A and B are shown apart, each in its own frame.
Chain A
Amino acid sequence: MHIYAFGSVCRGDVSPGSDIDLLAVVQGHDPRFSPDDYSIYSYERIREIWGEGNPFAWHLAIESKLLYSSDKSDFLTSLGKPAAYRKCLQDCEKFFALFREARASFESQAESKVFDLSMVFLAIRNFATCFSLGTLDKPDFSRSSALRLGEHSLSIPRDAYKVLERSRILCTRAIGESITDREACMAFGQFSQIEGWMTGLLDQVGNRAARI
């Protein structure tokens, strides 16, 4: 068994609202670990994502710290660098689809609006992370990756971005004040801007993929 911290705490990027991301690498099912508290992976699956050049593998390779090892080894370090990241276009398309589905859902009904805002945040964040990993010199795995892409950054009012981020935290960690109708409306007002940002970056990623 190996336990790692990863993400914001390893970057020193901490704030009162930030959590500590933990990874447990285990052999088979281990009931000691709750998926609410840990990302739980088998050794086999970690090797697979390393071989795929999966963004999460790169995240772990760049931003993780070993907390505990049952055999004194550092399993992730022993794997070396993950394979080159080659699925930038597919991943960006996947997260664009996630955004479109959340937008359509938000516009069509009232039973999952906060969840839909949360999925918009997840789509934005993961899209930006994949874009940075696939096209920029320095990947950004942070919660604010979409705002830290230099000239490629998402440009929406900070308040609207915060509503999306709060929605995500509400839906996962269940912490924070409820989202009001006014706040949901404010975030919704930025959906067209977000969609335009994604389509613009998708064009760039597509053109880049066509050249390679």
Chain B
Amino acid sequence: MQHEFNDRIAAQRAILRVVNRKPWSSEQLLGLSSKAIDRWVSVNRIEPGSRLVKLVKDVSAKLFFLANKSQEQVSDEYTAIRAEMIAACDAIKIELEAATA
């Protein structure tokens, strides 16, 4: 249980790695806080209403939601959300591939 904090960090890193496989024009996505996402959208001139931005913001909301839960709740919900994270990674990959095809 004590490593759920580290697991959330690893989940963030996994998302960043997927997003940053694309060579962004100005700056990589540096974190999954709303402010970091807004900076990435702004400096790279990404369409704020795009599906990619929505997917990244959804993942961010889930991770921060987990951070505010009690340990007991996290134990149950983290398992479910971990599966959602894998699905989100796949969805972002597909979105980026579609955008560059």
Contact = CB atoms under 8 A, between A and B. Distances in A.
Interface range, A side: 20 to 34
Interface stretch (B13-21, B45-53, B76-84, B85-93): B13-21
A33 B65 CA distance: 12
B71 interface: yes
Contact of A111 (B12, B17, B36): B17
Contact of B9 (A39, A101, A110, A114): A101
B33 interface: yes
Nearest to B73: A45
A170 B70 contact: no
B31 A171 contact: yes
A45 B3 contact: no
B97 to A, nearest CB: 16
A48 B31 contact: no
A36 B67 CA distance: 12
Contacts of A119: 9, 13
A41 B65 CA distance: 11
B81 to A, nearest CB: 15
A40 interface: yes
Contacts of A140: none
A119 to B, nearest CB: 6
A170 B34 contact: no
B35 A36 contact: yes
Interface of B: 2-3, 5-6, 9-10, 12-13, 16-17, 19-21, 27-28, 30-31, 33-36, 38-39, 64-65, 67-71
